[in-house]
A and B are shown apart, each in its own frame.
Chain A
Amino acid sequence: ETGVTQSPTHLIKTRGQQVTLRCSSQSGHNTVSWYQQALGQGPQFIFQYYREEENGRGNFPPRFSGLQFPNYSSELNETALQLDDSALYLCASSLFSVDSEAFFGQGTRLTVV
């Protein structure tokens, strides 16, 4: 039991719409990272939040944005959805440390039609 929960589990959106995905971190963890996992691929790093500030970003455009709240829960927001945004979005919580294990949620499956 990882303690990381994501909502919703599945979502269908139309191209051009926006979406908000939510994540509740494991108790005691101060860092949250978001990943996009396309079918048959490894998780691609989107961004990381530490103490409510963005602490690193992968190769994703600004229409992907995030928030981390004082209770360490987090949101991922996407605007102007495109068909190739369809993927599994994973949230991972950890401590801000090089050898900290990342605990993953089950993910949100986003389908853009």
Chain B
Amino acid sequence: GNSVTQMEGPVTLSEEAFLTINCTYTATGYPSLFWYVQYPGEGLQLLLKATKADDKGSNKGFEATYRKETTSFHLEKGSVQVSDSAVYFCALSDRAGGFKTIFGAGTRLFVKA
């Protein structure tokens, strides 16, 4: 079945540091890939997505590239801010899975001033 594996947290960085959160996936079909973010006290919201191989999703300075050859969708940001402190979830959806979205376990990010 479909699954998503992402790096364990928490990840603690200083402001303006470079961020990478690794995500790999297993899927029977050709999935769309997503990063969702959960800020403290708020609900899950979409951060970015990519729907086919080599697509790059980007939003709020975050980027992730759909790598079919390595089945990966790593999240990156060049310079994090304190306001980026949140839990980040990698997820996938595909037709073979009935379009349901499958999530990774989440990676908590703490950014220190």
On A, residues with C-beta under 8 Å from B are 2, 31, 33, 35, 40-45, 48, 55-56, 58, 90, 92, 94, 96-102, 104-107
B43 on the A face (CB < 8 A):
yes
| A92, closest chain B residue (CB) | B101
Query: At the interface, is chain A mostly helix, strand, loop or mixed?
Result: loop
Decide if B46 touches A102 in the complex (CB within 8 Å): yes
Residues of A close to B42: CB separation below 8 A: 106
State the CA gap A55–B54 with chains docked (Å): 30
Decide if B106 touches A48 in the complex (CB within 8 Å): no
State the CA gap A88–B31 with chains docked (Å): 26
B100 on the A face (CB < 8 A):
yes
Residues of A close to B103: CB separation below 8 A: 35, 42-45
The stretch that binds A, out of B13-21, B67-75, B78-86, B87-95, is B87-95
Decide if B44 touches A90 in the complex (CB within 8 Å): yes
State the CA gap A96–B93 with chains docked (Å): 11
Decide if B34 touches A101 in the complex (CB within 8 Å): yes
Residues of B close to A2: CB separation below 8 A: 43, 45
B77 on the A face (CB < 8 A):
no
Decide if A45 touches B102 in the complex (CB within 8 Å): yes
- 6 new A-B contacts at CB < 8 Å, known A42-B104, A43-B44, A101-B49: A55-B99, A94-B101, A96-B99, A98-B99, A101-B34, A106-B42
Residues of B close to A42: CB separation below 8 A: 4, 89, 103-106
Mind listing 25 A-B residue pairs with CB under 8 Å? A33-B100, A42-B4, A42-B106, A43-B44, A43-B89, A44-B103, A45-B103, A48-B99, A55-B99, A55-B100, A56-B97, A56-B98, A56-B100, A90-B43, A92-B101, A96-B99, A98-B93, A98-B94, A98-B95, A99-B49, A99-B51, A100-B93, A101-B46, A104-B43, A106-B42
B45-76 toward A: CB 8 Å interface, digit per residue (1/0)? Answer: 11001010000000000000000000000000
Residues of B close to A102: CB separation below 8 A: 44, 46, 101
State the CA gap A104–B105 with chains docked (Å): 17
CB distance from A92 to the nearest CB of B (A): 7
